[in-house]
Structure 1
Amino acid sequence: MRHPPRFSRSSRLLTLLVGAALALAGTLFVPAVTASGAAPVCSVVYETTSEWDDGFQGSVTVTHHGPATDAWTLGFDFPGGQEITQGWNAQWSQSGSAVTAKNAAWNGALDTGASVTAGFLASWSGTNPVPTSFTLNGAVCNEDDDPDPDPTDPDPDPTDPPDPEDGPPALKVSGNQLVDSEGAPRRLLGVNRSGGEFACVQGYGIFDGPVDDASIQAIADWNVNAVRIPLNEECWLGLDNIDPRYAGGNYTTAIKDLVRRVEDHGMTPIVELHWSWGQYTGNSSGCSDIHASCQKPMPNAQYSKAFWSSVASTFKDDPAVVFDLFNEPYPDRATPTAEQAWTCWRDGGDCPGITYEVAGMQSLVDAVRDTGAQNVILVSGLAYSNDLSQWLSYAPSDPAGNLAAAWHVYNFNACVSESCWEQTLAPVAAQVPLVAGEIGENTCGHSFVDRVMRWFDDRDLSYLGWTWNTWDCSAGPALIRDYDGTPTAYGIGLRDHLLALGDGSRDGA
């Protein structure tokens, strides 16, 4: 769904406060002091932000304390045989254990006190020890360092997902249904909580409005059992065009905390890639910005696979979390034929009409499964997720057998009639679980969503209303006027319908 205008993103120099990352698990702070006590040359924060069976995602943030420079080269050694497989925000290379990161074309200039962050994916085997020696432009940064945090610290990470048995059900796909660990059918009935996809890239926060316990309880009070949480890949990965207060570890910690809070209220969290990198100025372009500041026609090969590797690693031990691969694909607006659009959607690569290399849905499924994550995956179709006409023919392969179809509908879409739903949705719903990840209308009424919910109820299918935000219901559209749960005229339709379903909807019945 497109969003009401808020703030314009402005470019900025990344100035990360080194201490902000110290509380993150897997973070190494390397104080930049020399043995002789001279002024520090640099400060380094090395983070292992997520880890899976044979790989991990990491980042290095370096703060330059010397005279201004127009170029930088960071060097360090991997002590455990790790190997860089992909990187961003720097030109990465490796020879044996020695790793080199040279500045990219746009981030070479560092004033005194300025910082820069570069991220990477790497493989590992056996152990994954952190590097202990760093240099910046040949100058040593890590003499007299004490890199290891206290290994006896018993305090658990408060942002770790809770035991699924204490919250919503662990979900899996069985035929054309979502079921819990006992095999009982479950429906996802709820709302979207927009904000995490745009506030960070627009530079004013991580969420739009509160996400505290009271506001999440207000969602649950509508008899909601699922909350979809849109994300921004540049903010999650901590790319250097994002204000560091709202990027990287700060962003991921906030998202993990929201997921935990949603689960604490017995609701299923659905984490979803909404806005992504890649410049597209063709038909139906939402913006000309290369950065993740609007909806792009497809995810990109440069960052989207890294995003899903990291997200899946973060939540793979929590089967209550559902993954929604990409918000609203629309390669059909760029490519000349439907066959080319669906092929692009599944296989990615060089797609007609799209100037960046595309990550197809198959590659994103693979990125998730390669981490060992078995979570349910939702995959949207074409035409801003409103077209599932060839979804079954082009569906990606999932070795875990936990794939479901996602669909979006608003009163201004093409497929808005029961006859279209019978023709294009019913065949899909007969084969795999079908989740309407977004339903809504821009009339400030609810007659259209009433029809959608009735059709989905008759077939025991899942749906979530857009969106739990206090926007203009004719522009958003927005379900609420206040985060205490006061509905708009449009939101009354969803609220009253879910409440009328009774307690069974919280059980997924």
Structure 2
Amino acid sequence: MRHPPRMSVLLAGAAIVTVSCAFAITGTASGAPAAPLCTVKYAVVGQWTDGFQGAATITNNGAALNGWTLGFTFPSAQTVSQGWGAKWSQNGAAVTAVNESWNAALGTGASATTGFIASWAGANTAPSSFTLNGTACATDPGPAPTPTPTTPTPTPTDPVPGAPELGVTGNRLTDQNGATRRLRGVNRSGAEFMCVQGHGIFDGPVDDASVRAIADWKANTVRIPLNEECWLGLDNIKPEYRGANYIDAVKGLVGRVLANGMTPIVELHWTYGQYTGNSSGCADIHASCQKPMPDTQYSPAFWTSVANTFKNDRRVAFDLFNEPYPDRPTPTTAQAWSCWRDGGACPGIGYDVAGMQDLVDAVRATGARNLVLVPGIAYSNDLSQWLTHSPSDPTGALAAAWHVYNFNTCASEACWDSTLAPVAARVPLVAGEIGENTCGHAFIDRVMAWSDAHALSYLGWTWNTWDCSSGPALITSYDGTPTSFGIGLRDHLRALN
């Protein structure tokens, strides 16, 4: 955040149709049926009021293919609006998915998974037949496998109690037992600005009572914005608010969050580097406002130090940078995403930029395997090319982060369906900040409803006693008394627990 009635949702169980594709084979015995050479599994992954997310997995049981086309017909007027893992098109009820260049090769025994977002009305009946490269698929899935009597029936995985050691499994956050976890909670602003302004380290109390008040809302996560100059102890910061004093204070808050059973997310909010271009927050070279991107001079050093501090406790998650906006100074979107990932001398930014890959590398070079959140561009509101440009991570523990307020460009269910759902289908997605400037909660009610329908994570901005005209404050007192805005988040979190 730059400092300044609930929808009815239906979560459908995964409806799965499995069919076998039979290609004609020369040389088979007269009258003998052709062996099934492929399998297609169709699933409704999630469903809400007027839309759903679907997936189709093709397994090739025959000769290797170099290029494939999946075809099927929707029986109930469903319409695809967005797809991934293939080039999707629709003509009337007929749907076609053609391979991408990177998954054109489908060897014997190999599988390709594609997904899509579609609308529906009245009924959402699954397709009953499919074609692969123009050949009809048989609807008979073959004989059911014989169960092995000695194999025990699997039981649901129980989540670990308290704050988990977070990892990534597919598009889910998981704990050390493999149970799915969702992060739902609040931001605790203050440590990003109080120190650089010379007023202290935190804005308001961060003692056990105030942290326990957050837990009383049934929050399970607290995001803690930080300032790189204060953490690194630069001499433009008052001695009492910098270096070891600052680090010890942050470690103390992290410890109290953990002691109350919640996940702490430490996040780089304000950074060094002079920027006076489009949407500049300040002309100061120091870390006294939101800059468009991290800097090479201090940001990698910040993450090296933070990662070394917390790498032995994987219950602590890292959020690389608050709200990148390289799209404002750079001439094109392509240049903005390149700057976002690779950094360097970015057009329109007057300092050397550390890209998201630089920061991931700084974290992983310490040996830290903690969960890392990577935000998008446009103040973290645009994730449209996140999958294409995402940094590489040798540990596979990356999640996408986005921010959404009622005044953002992408602030509607239609935009979330088209640009966020494809990301959420591939990697965990965490809304690090949700809020609105209305002093109410109608907008975040919609955000939470959509996020719940997609099993996503979200954190309200912010657990501070500010007037709503200066920012979306959740509370009027650090005992947890909510504002009119905060009532929406508090009641929703309590209803989920």
Q: What's the TM-score, normalizing by structure 2?
A: 0.68
Residue 401 of structure 1 corresponds to 396
Matched, 1:214 2:209: yes
Matched, 1:390 2:385: yes
Q: 2:473 aligns with which of 471, 478, 497?
A: 478
Q: 1:278 aligns with which of 270, 273, 276?
A: 273
Counterpart Cα distance in 1 of 2:278 and 2:3: 19
Matched, 1:491 2:486: yes
Residue 70 of structure 1 corresponds to none
AA at the equivalent of 2:396: G
AA at the equivalent of 2:354: A
Residue 2 of structure 2 corresponds to 2
Matched, 1:303 2:298: yes
In the TM superposition, what are the counterparts of 1:164-183 in structure 2 within 5 Å?
Answer: 167-183=162-178
| Cα distance per residue 1:155-178 (max 9 Å; x no partner) | xxxxxxxxxx88411010010000
Q: 1:266 aligns with which of 252, 261, 265?
A: 261
AA at the equivalent of 1:454: A
| Cα distance per residue 1:402-446 (max 9 Å; x no partner) | 000000000010000000000100000000000000000010000
Matched, 1:445 2:433: no
Q: 1:248 aligns with which of 243, 246, 262?
A: 243
Residue 140 of structure 1 corresponds to none
Residue 125 of structure 1 corresponds to none
Residue 307 of structure 2 corresponds to 312
Counterpart Cα distance in 1 of 2:496 and 2:334: 41
| Cα distance per residue 1:101-153 (max 9 Å; x no partner) | xxxxxxxxxxxxxxxxxxxxxxxxxxxxxxxxxxxxxxxxxxxxxxxxxxxxx
Counterpart Cα distance in 1 of 2:453 and 2:223: 23
Percent identity (aligned) = 76
SS of match in other structure, 1:367: helix
- Give the superposition deviation at 1:2: 1.6
Counterpart Cα distance in 1 of 2:470 and 2:430: 24
Matched, 1:349 2:348: no
- The higher radius of gyration belongs to 2
Counterpart Cα distance in 2 of 1:320 and 1:248: 23
SS of match in other structure, 2:195: helix
In the TM superposition, what are the counterparts of 1:69-468 in structure 2 within 5 Å?
Answer: 167-468=162-463
- Give the superposition deviation at 1:474: 3.0
Residue 128 of structure 2 corresponds to none
Counterpart Cα distance in 1 of 2:256 and 2:351: 37
| Cα distance per residue 1:42-65 (max 9 Å; x no partner) | xxxxxxxxxxxxxxxxxxxxxxxx
AA at the equivalent of 1:359: A
Counterpart Cα distance in 2 of 1:167 and 1:460: 20
- Give the superposition deviation at 1:448: 0.2
- Give the superposition deviation at 1:473: 1.6
AA at the equivalent of 1:357: D
- Divergent runs of 4+, >4 A: none
SS of match in other structure, 1:310: helix
SS of match in other structure, 2:421: helix
AA at the equivalent of 1:243: K
Counterpart Cα distance in 2 of 1:472 and 1:394: 38
SS of match in other structure, 1:359: coil
- Give the superposition deviation at 1:472: 0.9
CA-based RMSD of the aligned residues comes to: 1.1
AA at the equivalent of 2:381: N
Residue 57 of structure 2 corresponds to none
Counterpart Cα distance in 2 of 1:421 and 1:166: 32
Counterpart Cα distance in 2 of 1:219 and 1:400: 31
Structure 1: runs of 5+ lacking an equivalent = 5-164, 503-509
Counterpart Cα distance in 2 of 1:382 and 1:318: 29
| Cα distance per residue 1:251-304 (max 9 Å; x no partner) | 000000000000000000000000000000000000000000000000000000
Q: What's the TM-score, normalizing by structure 1?
A: 0.67
| Cα distance per residue 1:348-401 (max 9 Å; x no partner) | 000000010000000000000000000000000000000000000000000000
SS of match in other structure, 1:353: coil
| Cα distance per residue 1:58-88 (max 9 Å; x no partner) | xxxxxxxxxxxxxxxxxxxxxxxxxxxxxxx
Residue 81 of structure 2 corresponds to none
Counterpart Cα distance in 2 of 1:248 and 1:211: 19
Counterpart Cα distance in 1 of 2:441 and 2:168: 31
AA at the equivalent of 1:466: W
- Give the superposition deviation at 1:246: 0.3
AA at the equivalent of 1:264: A
SS of match in other structure, 1:2: coil
SS of match in other structure, 1:201: coil
- Give the superposition deviation at 1:188: 0.1
Counterpart Cα distance in 2 of 1:377 and 1:492: 30
